[in-house]
Amino acid sequence: MKFNYSTYVLFILVLISCQKQETEIRNYGFSKKENSNLNVSVKLLEFENYGMLMDRIREITCNDSIPKIAIVEKDLKRNMYPISHCEPMIFDPDEKHYVSFHKGKFYKDDLGKEIGTDSLSWILKNDFEDFKVIDKSDAIKSYFIIIQSNRNEKVDGIGEFLTDLTQEFDKLKTELELNISFWEIVPYIPPEIKNEIQTE
């Protein structure tokens, strides 16, 4: 049998291309790498609604573990470590840092203007910057985004938004953290007015 050199080269190239390529891992938020055994995966598609997702993230945090949302792309895995607290925090950034999630879409200004991928870069650099002092005279300490929604909202669309957000964040080429938090929109309930009838 005559040995064919071109067949041998082709065989080697096929073997090389079939080898498993190493997946790159990018982390967003406080990953606590030294305690990676405390990480608990949160799969977005497993939740019927936003409230169940928030409850699960809070439950993991309150049990001294770290919630991790992983979004896997071809040869790239994005791990997001959302910020959560057992007790609700008071945070009023005057609409800065907030985006509203409704029916699979994201909005600024409380459902006023939809956030498109073309505007996400500007919003990231202008609305999500978190400064050490209020007057912005100091350096940026991180980027912070609060995703707020109603408890009964479906989670479809959150994964795509997080992918777009992290892609734009990667373009900044910064060493700062991108921190994400999930909050519930609390409906406004007007104070109860008691009718007091005065009798003489």
Q: What is the mean pLDDT of each run of 10 residues along the chain (200 residues)?
A: 58 56 85 69 93 93 91 90 79 70 84 82 86 65 90 94 94 91 75 59
CB burial class (10 A; 0-12, 13-18, 19+) of residue 184?
Answer: middle
Give the pLDDT score at 128.
87
Q: Could you state, in order of their start, the residue ranges of all structural domains in the chain? A: 21-83+94-184
Cα R_g (the chain), whole angstroms: 23
User: How long, in residues, is the chain?
Assistant: 200
Give the pLDDT score at 86.
79
Task: Report the distance separating Cα 123 and Cα 127, nearest Å.
Answer: 5
